């Protein structure tokens, strides 16, 4: 090797090393990077939602799948929160509740859910794998598992007089409507954003058949999902500031609503 060639190689290695050190690491996939305090608030709220929904299912003469799916989704949400909060017991126990719901053992699930408690430990790191659900992992068709189940939480609390989701879609529409001004509830915005971040992470990793049809459409799916996750993170950050900017929050909510609408228009199957 000549001196000049060695010099060129050395410079190339040095430049590559500087590029690696100076470049930001790619954003982690998986559990969104949000404040632990926000995850704890979401865990408290969603545990109450789960317990209420399971009580309704246990008492119903003819329990509806429309009510059961959001309950299963809530167990996945709580398992995700538990990962970040460092609550291994909650994660293990709530996934067992989900399995009971999936098996239509609603009374058993309701009794188990009443015993759940949130006890944060050593906080986990964001970016880890999203919790996996045994029955869904065994399903041949993932299109009928994670995505439609978690998306049920966007539905209204009452659909056709049947208990359903967390009202996310309606809240987004109300807070971003141009013909009326609905006062922003910052605590509710924070909760909505945490939930949206986690649900859209599940969407990011579980594209439906339309999205998987070809590389270009799958890229569109992932871009829209990531945009929704990022907007949700921004909303949490702004809503939890000492002096939140309500105009910024409303603008981010509008963009999040638009991202959801764009994704639905492109990828949702006609019912």
Looking at residue 125, its pLDDT comes to 87
- Domain membership flag for residue 157: yes
Total-model pTM: 0.87
Per-residue pLDDT reduced to its tens digit, 187-240 = 999 999 999 999 999 999 999 999 998 999 999 999 999 999 999 999 999 999
Output the pLDDT for position 270: 59
Mean pLDDT of the chain: 88
In a domain, 28, yes or no: no
Task: Say what the pLDDT of residue 3 is.
Answer: 43
Tell whether 6 is covered by a domain. no
Reported as a pLDDT band with limits 50, 70 and 90, residue 139 is confident
Please report, for residues 7, 107, 152, 258, the alpha-carbon distance to residue 162 in angstroms, rounded to integers and kept in the order given.
73, 18, 13, 27
pLDDT value of residue 70 = 96
Please report, for residues 30, 36, 86, the alpha-carbon distance to residue 125 in angstroms, rounded to integers and kept in the order given: 10, 10, 9
pLDDT digits (tens, 9 = 90+) for 1-41: 444 433 333 333 333 333 333 333 334 458 999 999 999 99
For the residues of 159-200, what is the DSSP string, one character each? ETTEE----HHHHHHHHH-SSS-PPP-HHHHHHHHHHHHHHH
pLDDT mean over 46-59: 97
Looking at residue 2, its pLDDT comes to: 44
Residue 95 lies in a domain: yes
The total number of structural domains that make up the chain: 1
Q: Is residue 256 part of a domain?
A: yes
Q: Which of 47, 51, 53 is nearest to 70 (CA)?
A: 53
CA distance 136 to 5: 56
Single out the residue of 138, 126, 148, 251 nearest to residue 194, CA to CA: 126
Residue range of the domain that includes 247? 36-267
Asked if 58 and 101 touch (Cβ cutoff 8 Å), the reply is no
Cα Dmax for the chain: 85
Residues of the chain with pLDDT > 90, as a percent, come to 75
């Amino acid at each position: 090797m000549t001196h000049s060639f060695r010099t060129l190689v050395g410079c190339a290695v040095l430049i590559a090393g500087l590029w690696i050190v100076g470049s930001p690491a790619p954003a982690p996939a998986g559990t969104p990077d949000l404040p632990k305090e926000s995850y704890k608030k979401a865990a408290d709220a969603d545990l109450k939602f789960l317990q209420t929904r399971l009580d309704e299912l246990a008492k119903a003469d003819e329990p509806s799948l429309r009510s059961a799916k959001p309950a299963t989704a809530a167990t996945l949400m709580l398992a995700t929160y538990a990962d970040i909060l460092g609550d291994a017991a909650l994660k293990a126990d709530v996934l067992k509740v989900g399995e009971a719901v999936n098996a239509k053992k609603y009374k058993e699930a309701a009794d188990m859910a009443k015993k759940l408690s949130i006890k944060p430990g050593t906080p986990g790191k964001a970016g880890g794998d999203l919790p996996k659900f045994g029955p869904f992992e065994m399903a041949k068709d993932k299109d009928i598992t994670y995505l439609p189940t978690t998306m049920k939480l966007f539905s209204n609390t009452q659909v056709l007089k049947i208990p359903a989701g967390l009202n996310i879609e309606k809240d987004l529409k109300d807070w971003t409507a141009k013909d009326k001004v609905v006062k922003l509830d910052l605590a509710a915005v924070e909760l909505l954003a945490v939930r949206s971040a986690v649900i859209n992470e599940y969407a990011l990793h579980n594209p439906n058949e339309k999205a998987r049809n070809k590389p270009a459409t799958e890229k569109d799916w992932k871009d829209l999902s990531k945009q929704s996750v990022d907007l949700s993170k921004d909303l949490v950050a702004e809503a939890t500031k000492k002096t939140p900017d309500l105009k910024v929050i409303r603008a981010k909510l509008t963009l999040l609503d638009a991202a959801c609408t764009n994704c639905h228009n492109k990828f949702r199957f006609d019912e």
